[in-house]
Structure 1
Amino acid sequence: MRTTTPWWALWRLPLLMLALVVSLGFAQFALAQADPEREAATAVPAVDADIWRQIESGETGPNYRSSRFGSDYNLINTVGETWRQLRERWVSPFGVIAVVGMIVLIALFYLLVGRKKLDEPRTGRKLLRWPLMVRSLHWTVATLFILLALTGLNLAYGKAVFRPVFGDGFWAAMMSGTKLIHNYLGPLFGILLVIMLLRLLADNIPRKHDLAWFAKGGGLVGKGVHPDAGFANGGEKLWYWLLATAGIAVIVSGLVMDFPNFGQARDTMIWANIIHAVGAFGLTAVALGHIYIGTLGTEGSFEGMASGYVDETWAKEHHNLWYEEVKDQAVSEEQLEANRTSSQGDEPAPRSG
């Protein structure tokens, strides 16, 4: 059945045409503003040969060159050039070496040593290691960390990797989305990381037996029993304190760049960028090792953060001091299944001393 458009709805057509014309006008204006020649002519008027000779000679002045910390120069930003040199010569190569180097080391370690399996058979009795709240917090922080790491690597190297392959249009759209994700998820990650660090602080206080754990390489050096470890072993504590130091530095430096409206100078944001990049690259590399050990590298480790429970054998071999404190709380798999069926939820989390 044919329908006709009411006469009173025809006013939408001229308004749509007007909006189209206005949008085209704004597009042309934006393109004109983006023209490098016009921008240069506007930003640096009346620059003649004498002025450039003064600049090249190193003469300082409000209109020539500035080595001051304030961003009140016009032509040459020497601090910005220092930042560019640091980024291109040191920070970017460091990121590639750290991340790719860690991937290569993990691959070689897996091929040469293989997965660390349990020395004894599983008992089938389980100990609660991570309650639901901590697991939820961990997986949320881990997911945000991975997203921030991927988008951060894209911001650092995406231009060199994706632009030549896919072209300017794809690269520009991808970078726009990358910046949006990175800038908005960063503060959320910072808040949740601080909450998680506070929640796990009591279990990550360094102890004397942690030195012996490092001396034995977490059980990889020498033969015999595993080195002593409480609720958290020496490696887990090292990762915790890296997050509590370098991680906080990355968060703070990221907030400095994320919120330029608080009055920080350009020079402050430049050094925040250096700190942010170096810390983020380092943490990403170490996180790859943490992910490997907690998943493919060690039998039984992933189960604890997936279900909350670990087998007695795993607890005894990897965290013997904690096991001695909570071994009387072990429950059978049948009892756990009954608990799930009756929707009783998690038991209170055992704590280390």
Structure 2
Amino acid sequence: MTTLTMTTAQVPSRAPSWRQRCWRLCLMLVLLVASLGVTQLAVAQADPNREMTTAAPGITAEQWRQVRSGETGPNYRDSRHESNYNLINASGETWRILRNRWVSPFGLIAVLGMASVITLFYLVIGRKHLDEPRTGRKLFRWSLFMRSLHWTVATLFITLALTGLNLLYGKFVFRTLFGDAVWAWMISASKVLHNYLGPMFGILLIVLLVKLLKDNIPKKHDLQWFKQGGGLVGKGHPDAGFANGGEKAWYWLLATAGLIVVASGFVLDFPNYGQGRDTMQWANIIHAVGALGLTAVALGHIYIGTVGTEGSLEGMTTGYVDETWAKEHHNLWYEEVKDQAISEEELAARKAGGSSEPSTAKPS
């Protein structure tokens, strides 16, 4: 008679202890208090007159009358050679109101709201563990090239998101905390990083999208994936190929809104191609709306791919995933490649031989 034994590492504990419950409750209270501060910051962002008092003091009703009637003289003109553009103009005021009254506050609500929802989800639902024990057999999923490309694009995205948020909101936080000297250095560094890394991100994003295109073509079973909330609704896991419905949605969001953000960023980054200030103003609004929306959704992608789902991060760090993970989350893909599964010993031998990838491995 054979006795089957399992180690504690193979069977994860799914029931949180009383200490974990207390910790989660305390974190929820902190989150609630922090949300009150976010509300106040959003209200402050929605006041366009607050910035106007320091950005352009002394603009009177008579000056606005002159601007709108075309009576402005050289003191109101752009100093560039042969430019007839008025530095004080109605379109600039429209841009300022859109940016300060709508884009800034609602963008802040979207980003911090998503972070709050994710935190609350983790506290209430917890991490998604595998339903069955790991088999220890590995399936190759991501090549070194694709992993390197993914992490490079991800690092650039996070850097651009942080510097962009600093450019938009940092003065309300860091200037108050550290003073003008530190704030001036931070905003200057953020601007340089954002301007120089943006084009690099755009080029590599296009390369990544091209490489992943064939695995992200929508299929009929993706609709069922969304109906089941990726497995949160109903029984069992919905069908999924190499990429599930959620991953495909993120891909096409990057392929549409992401490329729009890149294109508008190029308009802002290279003003020496003849685009006027009105074009730059609209590019700025489009860029901000798209970037803030992508940042909010990216938080969910990051959560699911790291602490939110057991086994997900392994594929993008080692290139291999456990058989159980593949069967539960990408069953259609698993059926195609299950005969290629190797043991941990075989994988270790490959690494010892200088390469952990199959000789016939494809980029994706």
Determine if the alignment matches structure 1 residue 149 to structure 2 residue 149: no
**What is the one-letter code of the residue matched to 2:194?**
H
Gaps of 5+ in 2: 1-55, 78-82
SS in 1 for 2:70: coil
Aligned-pair identity in percent equals: 70
Determine if the alignment matches structure 1 residue 326 to structure 2 residue 337: yes
**2:96 is matched with which residue?**
84
Determine if the alignment matches structure 1 residue 276 to structure 2 residue 291: no
Please give the per-residue CA displacement for 1:120-174, whole angstroms capped at 9, x wherever unaligned. Answer: 1111100001011000000000000110000000000111111122111111111
- Between the aligned partners of 2:284 and 2:108, the Cα distance in structure 1 is 17
Please give the per-residue CA displacement for 1:55-104, whole angstroms capped at 9, x wherever unaligned. Answer: 438852262899xxxx8443631111001000111000121111100110
Q: CA deviation at 1:251?
A: 0.4
Q: TM-score, normalised by structure 1?
A: 0.81
**1:61 is matched with which residue?**
70
Summarize the Cα distance change of 1:302–1:54 in structure 2 as closer, same or farther, 3 Å threshold: closer
**1:131 is matched with which residue?**
143
**2:278 is matched with which residue?**
267
- Between the aligned partners of 1:350 and 1:326, the Cα distance in structure 2 is 13
Gaps of 5+ in 1: 1-39
Summarize the Cα distance change of 1:350–1:57 in structure 2 as closer, same or farther, 3 Å threshold: closer
Please give the per-residue CA displacement for 1:213-249, whole angstroms capped at 9, x wherever unaligned. Answer: 00000000012x2000000000000000000001001
- Between the aligned partners of 2:251 and 2:66, the Cα distance in structure 1 is 51
**2:170 is matched with which residue?**
158
SS in 1 for 2:130: coil
**What is the one-letter code of the residue matched to 2:190?**
T
* Structure 1 residue ranges (4+ consecutive) displaced by more than 2 angstroms after TM superposition: 52-59, 62-66, 71-76, 348-352
Looking at CA atoms only, which structure, 1 or 2, has the larger radius of gyration?
1
Instruction: From 197, 200, 209, give the equivalent of 2:221.
Output: 209
- Between the aligned partners of 1:82 and 1:139, the Cα distance in structure 2 is 39
Summarize the Cα distance change of 1:208–1:342 in structure 2 as closer, same or farther, 3 Å threshold: same
**2:23 is matched with which residue?**
none
- Between the aligned partners of 1:351 and 1:189, the Cα distance in structure 2 is 20
SS in 2 for 1:331: coil
**1:341 is matched with which residue?**
352
- Between the aligned partners of 2:68 and 2:195, the Cα distance in structure 1 is 39
**What is the one-letter code of the residue matched to 1:205?**
I
Determine if the alignment matches structure 1 residue 199 to structure 2 residue 211: yes
Summarize the Cα distance change of 1:351–1:231 in structure 2 as closer, same or farther, 3 Å threshold: farther
How many residues are paired up? 300
Contact 1:129 1:310 in 2 (8 A): yes
